[in-house]
Amino acid sequence: MSSVPSCPGSTTTRIRISLGLYVRDGFTCRARRGRSLLLVLGPTCSAEWPPGSIAWSSWISLNQFLAPSIQGSPIPTFLLSPMASGITDVGLAAIGEDLSALQSLDVSYCRKLTDKGLSAVAKGCPDLRILHLAGCRFVTDGILQALSENCHNLEELELQGCMSITDKGLTSLASGCEQIKHLDINKCSNVGDVGVSCLSKACSSSLKTLKLLDCYKIGDETIISLAEFCNNLETLIIGGCRDVSDDAMKSLAASGRRNLKNLRMDWCLNISDSSLSCILNQCRSLEALDIGCCEEVTDAAFQLISSEEAALNLKVLKVNNCPKITVVGIGILLGKCSYLEYLDVRSCPHVTKAGCDEAGLHFPECCKVNFSEPDAMII
């Protein structure tokens, strides 16, 4: 490893190091001087620094390679490129041993990692605040136990697609990590109400973002727990949670979710006009709402919005594949949504561009209406 200056006038010093187990795997490590030091790993692109110059397997001590001006500084961020297919537990053990001040680690889609390497990071980096493990298929409840025992300041955890995570792991996490603000367990299909409810109680004052996309075991117990405990919740993703009932969503809305800004509940097939109108009336800070494929929703949901309250703050609304919504409902909605920027009405048979034009509907000037294009807006 060596330190070289970046572009003229830049305050960034670049430190390059190969982290691959194979000669073809090279990465770039950049250290930013100043109040916070940032290490980012990405593919090496310079012939000056050939891949394979320093392999994980031959890494003796990270401190031996760091420039003297950087040693002893806090290292809040360490990002591994998704292309880092050769990164293994050996490398993570080195991070745990040498970077005790680490606060943020992103090893998403480093598919060879297991609980062993990640637990070494948890034990060696007690001030870890952010951990991204999306797509790490060998991760199990063991890492959640290690985090609970060692990383009590953890605030953000992403586990999308970690299929071996269960309620047992979330329960363990809740016992030691009570400051979590952001939890992404999208597509963790073995997670259910017991684990999520336990964590929502433990992190009641801190939890702001909860993502449960396609967690098909999630039901009313989770929603009622959120309604009772999580007053600061801003983003809730429950798309594909088909067991969530209409009554549970009414309870969430009625509990005074004034902070809720983003709600995705596409494919929640039990949602009806009753719960949707309650959400729109009670959650007045809501900016993005996805009710795609909620087939029981009709125009009546929009007719039930109170006219005594101020206009809705909705900027993004997705009602695609809602066959009972018509141009009439869209017209009512437009009268209550002055800030709308994106409206998805794909596959709504009674809402067409010709129909909207014929009805004389006037959309906000900045609003994109998607009648048929692929959807690029993700909540």
Cβ atoms of 357 and 330 closer than 8 Å: no
- Could you tell me whether strands 209-211 and 156-158 are parallel, antiparallel, or unpaired per DSSP bridges? unpaired
Each residue of 333-361: pLDDT tens digit? 999 999 999 999 999 999 999 999 999 99
Each residue of 57-78: pLDDT tens digit? 333 334 444 333 334 445 566 6
**Predicted pLDDT of residue 41:** 43
Rounded average pLDDT over 291-315: 92
Cβ atoms of 325 and 353 closer than 8 Å: no
Each residue of 113-149: pLDDT tens digit? 999 999 999 999 999 999 999 999 999 999 999 999 9
pLDDT band, residue 79 (cuts 50/70/90): low
Residue 1 burial (C-beta neighbours within 10 Å; 0-12, 13-18, 19+): middle
The total number of residues shown for the chain amounts to 379
- Average pLDDT score, the chain: 82
Q: Which residues contact 345 (CB under 8 A, 6 or more apart)?
A: 319, 320, 325, 330, 351, 369, 370, 371
Among residues 270, 284, 377, which one has the least CA distance to residue 337? 284
Rounded average pLDDT over 10-19: 32
Task: List the domains of the chain with CATH numbers.
Answer: 1-139 (3.80.10)
Q: What is the pTM of this model?
A: 0.84
> Tell me, what DSSP letter sits at residue 375?
P
**Predicted pLDDT of residue 55:** 32
Neighbours of 9 (CB within 10 A): 5
List the beta bridge partners of residue 370.
344
Each residue of 162-216: pLDDT tens digit? 999 999 999 999 999 999 999 999 999 999 999 999 999 999 999 999 999 999 9
Would the pLDDT of 93 be above 70?
yes
Each residue of 24-47: pLDDT tens digit? 233 333 333 222 333 444 433 333
List the beta bridge partners of residue 29.
15, 41
pLDDT band, residue 258 (cuts 50/70/90): confident
For residue 32, report the phi and psi dihedrals to the nearest 5 degrees. Answer: -100, 125
Q: Higher pLDDT residue, 130 or 309?
A: 130
Rg value, the chain, Cα: 24
**Predicted pLDDT of residue 310:** 77
**Predicted pLDDT of residue 76:** 66
List the beta bridge partners of residue 105.
78, 131
Percent of the chain with pLDDT over 70: 78
**Predicted pLDDT of residue 24:** 25
Alpha carbons 251 and 219: distance in angstroms, whole number: 13
Percent of the chain with pLDDT over 90: 68
**Predicted pLDDT of residue 49:** 31
Q: Which has the minimum average pLDDT: 78-92, 238-252, 285-299, 346-360?
A: 78-92
Alpha carbons 100 and 74: distance in angstroms, whole number: 9
Alpha carbons 332 and 223: distance in angstroms, whole number: 29
Among residues 187, 221, 218, which one has the least CA distance to residue 201? 221
Residue 333 burial (C-beta neighbours within 10 Å; 0-12, 13-18, 19+): buried
Alpha carbons 78 and 110: distance in angstroms, whole number: 13
> Tell me, what DSSP letter sits at residue 58?
G
